[in-house]
Structure 1
């Protein structure tokens, strides 16, 4: 079972409260590797977390100048935000100097963090960004035997199988114009010939909406000639990328979240995962992927988990925001049947708006039914984003990303609600409000029960919605009900998505469901349903009555209940 905590070090440890839009690292502050201390890690572990995904660790393009440390500076016209995008990698073998108290010792500080996470009983995941890199990529930390990207390229050719980049011969790159002063420079940015941009944009003049700060990497696909592939012999980019994965694995990294994995050929993934896992068999690989038609091939290539954004996240978004019927959730597991347990589920990450943001749902508590459903539906991986458990709402604008309901990944900013838990570095929740304490407790209970209850940890799933249509004293528009069961335990999970009204429903359960749970459907013995998430009175029932009389359950608005179904040992 994987419970992942996405932790953005730049944000996580930042104690500054007086931050300004487009502010510098000096004015706005920045979290450090060393801020993620044993107190923080112990508290994260107690939350029910098994893995920490450290986001934005690898050195990337930024407007902060570290040239005195022999780190190349970035031209402002090809950087997004003052701090820069953590997905515009400028050195795959280095870490972000922003995150170090001693820039010269930045790698040592990072490996110490890896060791602290391990000593607190958790594992480490970092980003692997294989599709693109910063326009001014230059490694100063690569091993001696490794050549830099593009160093041997034939840049007079648009495509060559062993070029690392795609070129636009006889054209100069022209970055999109931006008026803000921080992006201005007396020096003109020169890129001749122009390289193709990261989002498969083969023009020398990308727009502001393109990934203009990045360059597309060449894996042996000629996009300008009918996507012909040249995978034999192994292209140079493949070899360079394998070296990067091995480099970080050797430092103790336990897994990688592959950024935009679907934009890199599945043949590469099969080759590289097989090779790297041959040396590090416990390595975890997670794919950011948004095309369901590719899911099966990427799983077969060796990925352990895939993003479940397009299906379950989007469906729950529509239930929350657009009032879609709860019963429509059934289509999600059916679409993913056979590999639901291989999905990474979430309701927040750095790309999505905060649940508590008025730009999204605006109510962290009323969104908890989506957390419960996505966490309990299958034995899949589950993830929360730092600050989510405290109701972080991402109010206002901090720079490049604007006021979009997301905590900016491009700027030096902070997470005010998270800072209440951080409490000046004590990480004890000392400044949390009463509601925030209850919210964090709810997340803790959900995450811990995933690890504790046998039926959630390894049990099977059974959808009861088909047995409970609208005309049977049930409300499929607002309520979703399903079973999780194992040899040791049977659970009935009922979720009310209505944020304003309570619901009392009758839940019918037919013989096939009881047979799967190894409950005798003809039995007149007394059973009880005990809610593991409340101290409510048990609900008593007899199996032979379930197909017709069912179990009556009363739920408050936005309530979820997890009933353990057990035989009453003493009928008297």
Structure 2
């Protein structure tokens, strides 16, 4: 979901560290990750947009006007092509039943009020029913769960694993479970609404106050100019609940997450924790020990509700979860939740948004998260370099800072929250993503994530209604033009793609497939950038280089972020690497593993290696030593 200015300020503060100044090269190599043989790649796909072939794209258009994709659009052919891109996991975004404006009352689904829904298609992060799926995604609404089950089975048959969202921090204001398992009560069903806080209340309340719809600003009104019987600046909520982003006002601001309500995890308004905290040293214990710790503890009601939701979907066949705004929920809950999931499925894939680097290690070690977004460090730094005003000098210190947890820091250049690379607001050119993608995908043992349409240069240019250009809207019914050309009337063969789109997808396919098959990329890392900055002529802060290796594969990776100029230089490998690789004086063949069109020689003399390199603008090499 779109984040508030507080997170922008947090991001800025978090990156004021050693990468802003030149420092001597730290040649400490990254520790090899145990039990990790190959890298993984996540394909985030906005489920309702993927198979939509309607090109109308009317702002605020209805499902009938602008079209909508379905679970069934992910055919065996579509899934095969996604797999062939070099993907191991699919994150189907927007699956849990969230608020929508489309009328499904004939199916027993209550109508959703546009005054507390963002966009016509609704926010996937305002979940209305956690035990069912978005009716928009089904061909037969009454059988929507069966259709999702069939999609999971097709995905597994294609050799891919399934991830869906869980949003523990907040839910839709009008949450209503229609298909709860026996014994499951809705959130808030037994809350004491006469008090602001009770440890077992699911929400925080403002007793004796009623909820008021935000004051709309800058000409905004729900559904644009359309008249709708429920657009009346009124939503019945008495007493008023606190809003998802933490606003305690009974009338939240238009910039608040007004469509959602904050979940209470047993933390009082004064900040007191009404639950057990983890003992000292528990960050070093495994998930089984964490699970045992919680077995005899009484935990708040909200904890058990979300644990049961997660276990329901694990039993359903889902392989993992992406957690929205995990740092807004106490780390002790994550210990409880994630250890329960791992006891049922030790291989469950658990990734989360945590934007404060000071919290990374707690949420990984105490919260038992597998992966966190590397947003405010690597992503933000790469974005600045791609936009032309950042320096590659700032990248190696990030890896040094995170070397103890590097495997757990998920890398990406696009997702639903971030601007499209090809948008004018970001880089205005998808080609500028190539060197950054090589670096993002190869600098660490961590998983790589790409966003659907990124591989064909989608610029997110549509004014969709609630959603505005630069990001593909997650709130509206809309088509995704570059992707639609690849979908080619559901042939999924790129039959309408332009030549540049085909070439870009070929680049992503080559890169991602290499990463998931490389033992070196699951092995060791060492920076050589600073050494070359200090010792190599014509080597600039528009270029980045590092080495990766395992016992049977040795790589030299070089990327040129300069969109206007090529660079030619004698790249040097310091003595520490030559020693580590046990290379004697002599000549070693090297060739590019991406396109197999460049080869050179590594000349080792007096303990220093030298490779002649000639890079075109925005070109990268993954040089494999023969």
Bucket of the pairwise TM-score, normalised by the shorter protein: over 0.9
Match of 2:400 in 1: 334
Maintained 8 Å contact 2:386/2:432: no
1:318 Cα deviation (Å)? Answer: 0.9
SS in structure 1 of the partner of residue 438 of structure 2: helix
Question: Residues 109-148 of structure 1: matches in 2 within 5 Å?
Answer: 109-148=147-186
Matched, 1:561 2:621: yes
1:557 Cα deviation (Å)? Answer: 0.3
CA distance in 2, matches of 1:536, 1:473: 25
1:396 Cα deviation (Å)? Answer: 2.9
State how many pairs are aligned: 559
Q: 2:442 aligns with which of 353, 357, 376?
A: 376
SS in structure 2 of the partner of residue 469 of structure 1: helix
Q: 1:58 aligns with which of 87, 91, 96?
A: 96
Question: Residues 129-278 of structure 1: matches in 2 within 5 Å?
Answer: 129-178=167-216, 179=221, 180-182=224-226, 185-186=231-232, 188-222=234-268, 224-231=269-276, 233-278=298-343
1:54 Cα deviation (Å)? Answer: 0.3
Matched, 1:73 2:111: yes
Match of 2:562 in 1: 498
Match of 2:594 in 1: 533
Q: Deviations over 1:78-124 (max 9, x none)?
A: 00000000000000001000000000010000000000000000000
1:37 Cα deviation (Å)? Answer: 0.4
1:16 Cα deviation (Å)? Answer: 0.3
CA distance in 1, matches of 2:408, 2:200: 34
Maintained 8 Å contact 1:325/1:476: no
Maintained 8 Å contact 1:470/1:476: no
SS in structure 2 of the partner of residue 441 of structure 1: helix
Per mean C-alpha deviation after superposition, the further-off stretch among 155-164 and 177-186 is: 177-186
Match of 1:361 in 2: 427
CA distance in 2, matches of 1:52, 1:294: 27
Q: 2:612 aligns with which of 540, 552, 555?
A: 552
SS in structure 2 of the partner of residue 150 of structure 1: coil
Match of 1:416 in 2: 481
Matched, 1:8 2:46: yes
CA distance in 2, matches of 1:446, 1:541: 23
Q: Deviations over 1:2-31 (max 9, x none)?
A: 100001111001010112000111111100
Matched, 1:430 2:495: yes
1:339 Cα deviation (Å)? Answer: 1.0
Q: Alpha carbon RMSD of aligned pairs, Å?
A: 1.4
Maintained 8 Å contact 2:42/2:448: yes
Maintained 8 Å contact 2:57/2:462: no
SS in structure 2 of the partner of residue 366 of structure 1: helix
Q: Deviations over 1:111-170 (max 9, x none)?
A: 000000000000000001100000000110111210110000001110000000000111
CA distance in 2, matches of 1:175, 1:156: 22
Q: Normalization by structure 1: what TM-score?
A: 0.95
CA distance in 2, matches of 1:174, 1:466: 56
Match of 2:27 in 1: none
1:173 Cα deviation (Å)? Answer: 1.0
SS in structure 2 of the partner of residue 344 of structure 1: strand
Instruction: Between the two structures, name the one with larger relative contact order (CA 8 Å, sep ≥ 6).
Output: 2
CA distance in 2, matches of 1:188, 1:338: 51
CA distance in 1, matches of 2:260, 2:318: 25
CA distance in 1, matches of 2:121, 2:189: 27
Match of 1:390 in 2: 456
Maintained 8 Å contact 2:213/2:233: no
SS in structure 2 of the partner of residue 384 of structure 1: strand
CA distance in 1, matches of 2:339, 2:47: 30
Question: Residues 463-478 of structure 1: matches in 2 within 5 Å?
Answer: 463-470=527-534, 472-478=536-542
1:187 Cα deviation (Å)? Answer: 8.0
Maintained 8 Å contact 1:465/1:476: no
1:471 Cα deviation (Å)? Answer: 5.6
Maintained 8 Å contact 1:423/1:431: yes
1:537 Cα deviation (Å)? Answer: 4.9
1:516 Cα deviation (Å)? Answer: 1.9
1:230 Cα deviation (Å)? Answer: 3.5
Maintained 8 Å contact 2:553/2:624: yes
CA distance in 1, matches of 2:441, 2:143: 39
